[in-house]
Structure 1
């Protein structure tokens, strides 16, 4: 065979090998024709359906729904009680359309975060048909572009939706062409994601038991459907498994949770126009990325969350709304609190009247035999709930994420807010609600801003080094497992309790007196006003409590006209008048200037078709931001502990003066507790509870003062709003020095904590031991430890890395001589804490146990800096070494002034001398 023939044969063979591999289209027709055909590929189900004669795939509609009860509405529901099935009839024009889903925990466990009424999440969903199934889809609303554009096509391909379930089609109606799907698998699955959260909170694995789970009720209405699932959970099954101990359950191995699902139609062509947000004013936001806009600064579009409020008569200066915002008082609210709740809701009408709305908000009472449920999305409710270990309130709302329109809102309030804080209750709270805190035995709040009090600083400082296990959160922005959305909390209840004690001690008011009832009324009214503010779209404003001067706080001519605070959206404390001053309002009776301004921005009617057309009018409103009463700071601002006017449960624009007042009040209350507690026949535990309540109050105000050191006032307004004003303004040096002086006098001075032995020996713990309460493990009261903990928390905050870094930076941010420097802080603390040694006043040095403990804490902190065992700026380390060297030099002389019989002081000073010497030597050797 010739070489050419051999080559052609080889080529032909090669081509024949390539053909089955998919290269047939590359071959000439004549060669392709000579090649045996490859095996035909299998057809997909869709291709089979197209190519073969249509076969009956579904059972007849009437046969599938036989025996079921039909409920017509948005989606017609067919519930078969015998089989447990629930079918929904979806019309052809209801496919590929957005609807709103809302999930609510209708029944809980009453402890450990599992409480009735908690929102489990809300989200948009769409029914999409794919082959013989209906996909339950959550559309991706984070990225948007104008429909029909190339960018819109790119967005569709770049970002995915979320398909949570595929519902099999059971039948198609022959005339209506509507699709029948079985909702049972979706609604009895763990759609809310309860299982991982239960495992985390209950510290044990619980799973859904299908044999105990079922669909309870299903109702359909023209604009929504309401369905309730009963989930039976079981735990402790299997070899070696143990259920968690749940005190509120008769048997911890099993419990039920009820979940309410609300599926509703989104409003269409209802006249609502989204409104753009402004960071000078605090609203919750619905945000998305506009990928049609190439301007980097404009990538996000932010709409405020608000109700669709329109005037019935747009031409009238004041008009009733077309559709008022109606809140229903649930029939669980105690009768004695309903007037206060009603007043708290209606306080907001003053703000709406100023922008032209008459009775924008209405309040109605839910009948005792109402034929609707509070979780029904058609009703905005205020609900009371009970638990064994929770004190909080919350005002969440359901929002259309496409526009920011609020569609539904419910307020939850713990019944425990206005109950006496007895020891059995407090102990359970501290065991469960605070168990995740690093100093759980001492802290009085948990890691979120709603229960944060004194604990937040410690948690913030330790969070970088001490990683707490992550708590799994439910899907869809759920509130269960997400306590950032809970309001007030245990600290608010403690404010209420201290005010209650002050009223009793300073004014001899009895629990059943009109004065005490009015006090409770004031507290509940402000609490409700705060939560209603959230349901109107408003975020926290932790600058609101700084509006008045201390001397104005008890002038009711001022407070009942303008408010005790600039905003009810702050966490406002009880206002206790200083000794010798007539008591004014305990809590604010009106919404403040900031609240009215925020409502003006969010709800002023503006005749504009698109949001951008409103900007000129809205900017004019927002430019008032520099007015002192309109200052705004929210959760992200308070957690930095930078601005001494931005705190929770603080009061007045001069916290230095007000703090001294409250510390004086606390000391006076301790004296009265010593003299008057317990009452005849009462337990000595009452003394311990009262002592701790006052101690917490004292602790709270001690920590406020540290923010002055290296602090800066932060302003949110924009360039041009206020000439000559900048975002950051340093706290004047005189105020920083005054804050240190107050701390020296009230925290680092042992005389502040001189209690009589008789008083301390009254502090007996509760000894009840049964479900729901456990006796304290320590019978005696750890007075030294508690005082040292207070002092060490303040000291640690003053010497924290952030504080010292701010002092270092202040040297560049202020004019020469106007900044407190690191050496001054260290020198002031050392003089205050070690003054007995540095400058002994008498012939002899004798140090008490409290003094020795504080000195040791200060010394250990500086040694840790010097030995690089803690974070600190380098300049702070060198100053710490210098201060230790100065102290070391004075200890030799001080030890000669100690009585030989005073072994405590002698051993303490010798140890300090040796430890400082070794630390200084180790520092030099390491270099």
Structure 2
């Protein structure tokens, strides 16, 4: 036993000496590497990255946010620089001689004093994302190497969705073309930027390298030790939220609850606040402008941010949100836009036409910790073009591509307000644009006071309804009454109240308001009152005004966009976007046919949550389509205009737009939904059989001498009727009706073919052949 003891002692001594030597060697290495102190002290050089942190960081609640910093061209229409790919709470956990990086699941919760909390813990084991051997442990400091973790495509990063991996046939990340780019540490966060390169066997067009390279940024953020009190969602008010399942609920199941995401605003003077006096918050929301923001636009950015102060005043706060230029190095040498303590509006020199308003929030409580608004430079071009196309008929200031600076500035201001709204916790509210009567939007006094929609959070950008001669019109959106209402609901401070007590108070607040159109919230779906890019309470009337204006713009497009001595590139771009505007106006009306009005209600409030659109309104919508779509719109393909830039003509483009409208109306899924809602929901709507009858009458029976465009639509309608019979999911009642329509059309076409000559006879003979083959197959 003595020899065994001596051997074990000698071995342990040897291992200890070896460990001491390893630690000394590592300390020597770290001593010669650049050190950056912060939440996690980092050492980074030549693609080697070490983390050093004290024991206090172990099992501390941290948030890891992964974003795309740069991405390949033509990669995805729904992802751009700044897009978040994952957000997860993590812990660094010591297990023996290793540190595990653990994802902490926060969705399933229970009261810690409730025995069921033990079961919640046992049945929700946190996954281990990575494990790192401890390289050194000196006093309270622990050192690990994380180089390989950030040079890999960890599934937890969710860099490329499975759908895109499959679509582009993307392989594994190439180690030789992947690297860590930079590392920065701050008191409350650590930032790691790295590059991942992937081979792709089926890249998008114009990618001849068969390669995708991404630059990714990871933020590791310390979450507040003092948790903010949660606020429960009310679905009738639009807020971004966090879903949780409460197993301590008194309901006979795990109760799903949603917490809203909001900044922590508390009054400096609670006594004054309780007396109804406007009070400054202890910590206002501060946004710093990017130093790269052109000077002439800065005032508009500041206005767009601080416009929200009027809404915060409804919640009892003054100067709640502040915009500032960043401090100079002399004023604050430690300032950095990447420091989580500072929220910024970044100005990005990019061809991207977009702006975004992301934020980072505490997954435990919903507290918004930091936000970076991103403005992409070329977004100006989108707004300039649409300003001309949608308002130029009634707005002389819009009739140029050299839009006056104050007009562009006003548009930028409102875009920034919209994105800040997202960063404050507000999602889109597409219902709000239907709150105002259409004709009120032709009133100068109304639009100057109320704007063009009840919220800045709708996609209601311009007043395309106002007509030539209407005076003192507001053409650009602004904050509205819904914004005041939503901010008051989310940010009103209730001292000494529990979340449950707050919920009861706020439910009464919403009960009194939510059925008023000014305060309604709604997503998209099949509600014609909750569409994107529309304004006014009547789609048919609004689009009629819009098309009247667009025809004036079409007549003047060349004159307004192309000065003497200039080529026609701008004209071609504007023409393509003009077709898009026409399509939008038409689709706003298409949504009325078969639509369902959705009103978010609680029991006891007046109204019906789901009600089909009245039949008269649906028929009016089809009459509009008959006049403005099925009857060819040759003003859209004017020879004098198109000959300036097009080599092949645009008639096929017009036919394609029209076919798209017809596809939408005769879609089997849509017709099945109509069949269902017509039978089971409140209201007197149009049946799908009646819809098909009206389409057949408008497109075929009422057109005795169809021209070339009308003939294409007739063929397409017959094709759609044939396809409906073959659709396996279509209700049998609708299949039978489609067959009956085909048989009637066959009889009609045979009659017409016998009394016509030339192109018409050939047209009817072709459709006779289509129908005979289809009916024969069906039998």
CA positional deviation for 1:676:
6.3
Q: Which one of 316, 325, 343 corresponds to residue 380 of structure 1?
A: 343
Within-5 A mapping of 1:284-683:
284-293=240-249, 295-296=251-252, 299-316=255-272, 317-366=277-326, 371-388=334-351, 390-419=352-381, 493=382, 496-501=384-389, 509=397, 516-576=404-464, 577-582=466-471, 584-589=473-478, 591-608=479-496, 610-623=498-511, 624-634=513-523, 638=524, 640=525, 642-673=526-557, 678-683=562-567
Cα deviation for residue 594 of structure 1 reads 1.4
Which secondary structure state, in structure 2, belongs to the residue aligned with residue 288 of structure 1?
strand
Q: 1:499-547 CA deviation, whole Å, 9 max, x = no partner?
A: 2246666655488899632332232122111111111111111101112
Q: Distance in 2 between matches of 1:876 and 1:256?
A: 50
Q: Is residue 26 of structure 2 the alignment partner of residue 64 of structure 1?
A: yes
Q: Quick one: distance in 2 between partners of 1:288 and 1:632?
A: 22
Q: Is 1:890–2:779 an aligned residue pair?
A: no
Residue in structure 2 matching 1:168, options 110, 133, 141: 133
Residues 692-721 of structure 1: CA distance to partner in whole angstroms, max 9, x if unpaired? 221111111111112222222111111112
Equivalent position of 1:780 in the other structure = 648
**Separation of aligned partners in 2, 1:583 and 1:795:** 39
Offset at residue 326 of structure 1 (A): 0.7
| Structure-2 change in CA distance of 1:132 and 1:807 (3 Å) | closer
Distance 1:805 1:513 in 2: 46
1:883–1:150 CA distance, 2 compared to 1 (3 A): same
Residue aligning to 2:195: 231
1:781-805 Cα offsets, whole Å, 9 max, x none, are 3x33212222222222222234433
Query: Could you tell me how far 1:253 is from its partner in structure 2?
Result: 8.1
Matched-pair contact (CA < 8 Å) for 2:394–2:549: no
- 1:872 paired to 2:730: yes
Do residues 123 (structure 1) and 88 (structure 2) align?
Answer: yes
What TM-score, normalized to structure 2? 0.88
1:195 to 1:712, Cα distance in 2 relative to 1, 3 A: closer
Residues 112 and 202 in structure 1, CA contact (< 8 A), matched pair in contact too = no
Cα deviation, residue 183, structure 1? 3.3
1:88 aligns to 2:54 (yes or no): no
CA drift of 1:914 comes to 3.6
Structure 1 equivalent of residue 226 of structure 2? 269
Deviation string 1:834-861 (CA, Å, 9 cap, x unpaired) is 1356xx4xxxxx4321111111111111
Tell me if structure 2 keeps the 8 A contact 1:504–1:510.
yes
CA-to-aligned-CA distance 1:544-599 (integer Å, 9 cap, x gap)? 1112112211434323333321111111132122244346222223x111111111
1:15 alignment counterpart: none
The answer as to whether partners of 1:79 and 1:218 remain within 8 angstroms in 2 is no
Please give the alpha-carbon distance, in whole angstroms, between the structure 2 residues aligned to 1:74 and 1:692. Answer: 51
2:631 equivalent among 716, 740, 749: 749
Q: State the shift of 1:125 in Å.
A: 1.1
CA distance in 2 between partners of 1:600 and 1:373 (Å): 32
* Distance in 2 of aligned mates of 1:860 and 1:647: 29
1:98 aligns with 2:98: no
User: Contact (CA 8 Å) 2:88, 2:104: kept in 1 or not?
Assistant: no
Q: Find the aligned partners of 1:754 and 1:324 in 2 and give their Cα distance.
A: 51
CA RMSD of aligned residues (A): 3.3
Match of 1:798 among 665, 668, 673: 665
C-alpha contact (below 8 Å) 2:90/2:104 kept by paired residues? yes
CA distance 1:246–1:219, change in 2 (3 Å) = farther
Distance 1:614 1:195, change over 3 A: closer
Give the match for residue 141 of structure 1. 106
Find the counterpart in structure 1 of residue 5 from structure 2: none
The whole-number CA distance in structure 1 between the counterparts of 2:318 and 2:59 is: 40
TM-score by length of structure 1 reads: 0.75
Q: Distance in 2 between matches of 1:833 and 1:650?
A: 27
Match of 1:728 in 2: 610
- 8 Å contact from structure 1 (residues 235, 243) kept in 2: no
SS at match of 1:100: strand
What SS does the aligned partner of 1:793 have?
A: helix
- Decide whether aligned partners of structure 1 residues 915 and 211 sit closer, same or farther in structure 2, where only a CA change above 3 A counts: closer
Pairing 1:182–2:145 present: yes
CA–CA separation in structure 2 for the residues paired with 1:664 and 1:862: 33
For 2:711 and 2:205, locate their aligned partners in 1 and report how far apart those are by CA, in whole Å. 42
Mark the CA change 1:258 to 1:649 in structure 2 (over 3 Å): closer, same or farther.
Answer: same
**Separation (CA, whole Å) in 2 of partners of 1:721 and 1:242:** 55
Q: Which secondary structure does the structure 2 equivalent of 1:169 belong to?
A: strand
Per the alignment, residue 737 of structure 1 pairs with: 619
Match of 2:643 among 761, 766, 774: 761
List runs of 5+ in structure 1 lacking aligned partners: 1-47, 420-492, 765-778, 841-845
Equivalents in 2 of 1:171, 1:751: separation in Å? Answer: 76
Instruction: Kindly state the Cα deviation for residue 344 of structure 1 after the two structures are TM-superposed.
Output: 1.4
> Does residue 907 in structure 1 map to residue 762 in structure 2?
yes
Structure-1 separation of matches of 2:239 and 2:398 = 41
8 Å Cα contact 2:429-2:457 kept in structure 1: yes
After superposition, the Cα gap between the structure-2 partners of 1:62 and 1:73, relative to the gap in structure 1 and judged at 3 Å, is farther
Pair 1:869–1:200, CA change in 2 (3 A): closer
Q: Quote the offset at 1:353 in angstroms.
A: 0.7
Contact conserved, 2:177 with 2:197, CA < 8 A, in 1?
Answer: no
Unaligned runs of 5+ in 2: 1-7
Deviations 1:807-863 (A, max 9, x none): 4345545789x43233432332222111356xx4xxxxx432111111111111122
**Structure-2 change in CA distance of 1:833 and 1:352 (3 Å):** same
Q: Match for 2:184 among 214, 218, 229? A: 218
1:231: how far off? 2.6
SS across alignment from 2:20 = coil
Which of 175, 186, 203 is the aligned partner of 1:209?
Answer: 175
Partner of 1:553: helix, strand, or coil?
Answer: helix
Q: Distance in 2 between matches of 1:234 and 1:710?
A: 46
**For each residue in 1:437-483, what CA deviation from the matched residue of structure 2 results, as whole angstroms up to 9, or x when unmatched?**
xxxxxxxxxxxxxxxxxxxxxxxxxxxxxxxxxxxxxxxxxxxxxxx
For 1:180 and 1:87, locate their aligned partners in 2 and report how far apart those are by CA, in whole Å. Answer: 7
Q: Note the 1:149-160 alignment, pairs <5 A.
A: 149-160=114-125
1:457 corresponding residue in structure 2: none
Asked if structure 1 preserves the Cα contact closer than 8 Å seen for 2:394 and 2:469, the reply is no
